[in-house]
A and B are shown apart, each in its own frame.
Chain A
């Protein structure tokens, strides 16, 4: 009976299958929705939605379907005119044409809803949206006012209000990127080997069978060493002022790495824009709190996998020329790019994570140095997808 709701949910990106839909019908037959729309809302949500990240999508779709948020009054005159013109051009007896019309109406409604959503975000999000307006030809007044009112009233009034509150907006997967997700990505960074030292704690089944046979069938157990992760990681963070906007993101990455205890060894150093004679041991990059880059290159074996994290954006001289180090009072004999090249040749497994979104790489303010560094190291943006791709890159054998 609500079949169109089912298709609406699917159209809104919720992966609802027929099984779940049948379960919902069964539940309705059993009277589990308690004959109220709120009950129905909770029933639908618990059966059809399988992740809190989808709660928001569900709320939106539910509000859309059951409130008809887009009431005819909300659609401006011109669009009505356009719509009615459209109808006139079509033959009413032609079914496919009719469907077509419905589709177009839906598309229109979708666009309208996008505008409406934008408006709501403008209101919710505060500073960001203000001033970007201008796309208001579609008229997005209705829901905005309503949005405020719904939020202001107490909960449990009716289902549509609850759905309209969008309490789960923060859980949308496309919005958040938390430590755990980074951690999950880092878990993939492992290579097992049993050639390490350690107590023999695992039963070697083949060995046990052989030994037991040798021993005329009387059981003799054979143990072997458990397989351990052999990955060693060298993490180099850019801690320059230009990285400040991304500090939260970098901080999450740092925590994710430092919490991942499955690495055989983890070394973290910081640099200021580019790598020169010294690598800093703290993110503050203070003079003296450093070790020699030479020491790192000679003491950390080439087994280490290297991850650079930085915006790779700087004045070209900082990367290319002698004395380019922008830290007042420090002079480098070797240009930064040569240091980077030394890292590249010493450590065959290397990637660069860049917090600047990839689409801006070609024209961001430091695009020249960024491109030069990108030629040296495989560069990925610092997002979950980028990190996963980068880790894959670190693991492939050459």
Chain B
């Protein structure tokens, strides 16, 4: 690759699959946003942090909420402040620039060095939200009406977008993105991930816990499957409690750490005991 500096190879505290690494590098090379989807707990958000760390670039996070408007990411014209200032005679009201506040997207455009911009959970926003950002993400520039200025990027930021698939994203938006779906890690990958977090974990404890964990994930009756972050919490609980290793698989101690719903815990124990569950829909 021409630009070795911008090659993402994963970082010490984030285990990345070859496919994902490849997708990140493609996105960087083609200067397109990278859209990441995947089950909760597969480290979508962590990815951006890891990229920024590995390439030592500044990370700018734009957290999307259901009320977020695309405009807010570009800039906000603080009219109320200007009105107040004019009433109380404070500051230079004729200088509109003072009342233009750049949003996270604007920040990443104007950053002196190339930044990593994380647009987190884009699907939380209104259906029209992604469409409103098409031009800005394509051309990486926007126009401020009030000051008649165009904000252009000095360095196109590396844009990482995560989605939980709550809403379908519009086709026009998808066309401009590089897409990657993070698969739930298989056992060997998971072991690698665990070792990054708990380097000194006991071999036997890990083996037993992993077996129990994947057994629970495979149960059809479970509504909310435990994910990586729950496994990590559970392992910590197991290590701290010093519970005997033989009991892990037979009793599933601290099931509440893995399963977050009463029904799921009940169903799991019922299956554990009887081998089946008759729970239907309560």
Contacts and interface: CB of A to CB of B under 8 A. Distances in A.
Interface of A: 15, 17, 19-20, 23, 26-27, 30-32, 34, 39, 42-43, 46-47, 49-52, 55, 156, 167-168, 171, 179-180, 184, 217-219, 237, 247, 250-251, 254-255, 282-283
A52 B181 contact: yes
Interface stretch (B17-25, B49-57, B113-121, B206-214): B17-25
Contacts of B156: none
Contacts of B29: 27, 30, 32
A39 to B, nearest CB: 7
Given A32-B29, A247-B281, A255-B223, A50 B87 contact: no
Nearest to A212: B83
Contacts of A17: 175
B32 interface: yes
Nearest to A255: B223
Interface in B207-257: 223
Given A27-B26, A184-B167, 12 more contacts: A19-B175, A26-B30, A27-B30, A46-B179, A47-B30, A47-B178, A50-B177, A52-B37, A156-B18, A180-B165, A282-B282, A283-B281
List the 3 shortest-distance A-B pairs measured between CB atoms, nearest first.
A52-B181, A50-B174, A251-B281
B22 A219 contact: no
Given A19-B175, A219-B83, A46 B166 contact: no
A46 B26 contact: yes
A227 B135 CA distance: 32
B183 interface: yes
B280 A247 contact: yes
Given A52-B37, A184-B167, A219 B26 contact: no
Nearest to A155: B186
A219 B87 contact: yes
A236 to B, nearest CB: 14
A31 B180 contact: no
B171 interface: yes
B84 interface: yes
B25 A250 contact: no
Nearest to A162: B19
Given A15-B171, A19-B175, A219 B23 contact: no
B1 interface: yes
B280 A46 contact: no
Contacts of B166: 180, 184
B178 A46 contact: yes
Contacts, number: 82
Residue picked from B19, B29, B171, B179, most chain A C-beta under 10 Å:
B179
Interface string B31-66: 010010100000000000000000000000000000
Contact of B26 (A15, A47, A49): A47
A17 B177 CA distance: 12
A133 to B, nearest CB: 28
B2 interface: yes
A201 to B, nearest CB: 12
Contacts of A250: 281
B23 A46 contact: yes
B80 interface: yes
B280 A55 contact: no
21 contacts: A17-B175, A27-B30, A30-B30, A32-B25, A32-B29, A46-B26, A47-B26, A49-B179, A50-B35, A50-B171, A50-B174, A52-B37, A52-B181, A156-B18, A168-B181, A171-B181, A217-B87, A219-B80, A219-B84, A219-B87, A251-B280
Contacts of B27: 46
B126 to A, nearest CB: 12
Nearest to A18: B175
Contact of A50 (B2, B18, B179): B179
Contacts of A49: 179
A167 B183 contact: yes
Interface in B176-219: 176-181, 183
B87 A46 contact: no
Contacts of A27: 26, 29-30
A19 B177 CA distance: 11
A133 B87 CA distance: 84
A32 B26 contact: yes
Contacts of A15: 171
A32 B223 contact: no
B135 to A, nearest CB: 15
Contacts of A30: 1-2, 29-30
Nearest to A52: B181
Contacts of B23: 42, 46
Contacts of B179: 46-47, 49-51
Given A30-B1, A247-B280, A20 B30 contact: no
A338 B280 CA distance: 29
Contacts of A23: 30, 32
A43 B37 contact: no
A249 to B, nearest CB: 10
A46 B83 CA distance: 49
B261 to A, nearest CB: 10
Contacts of B22: 34, 39, 42-43, 46
Contacts of B84: 219
B247 to A, nearest CB: 32
B271 to A, nearest CB: 16
Contact of B282 (A19, A52, A180, A283): A283
Contacts of A32: 1, 25-26, 29-30
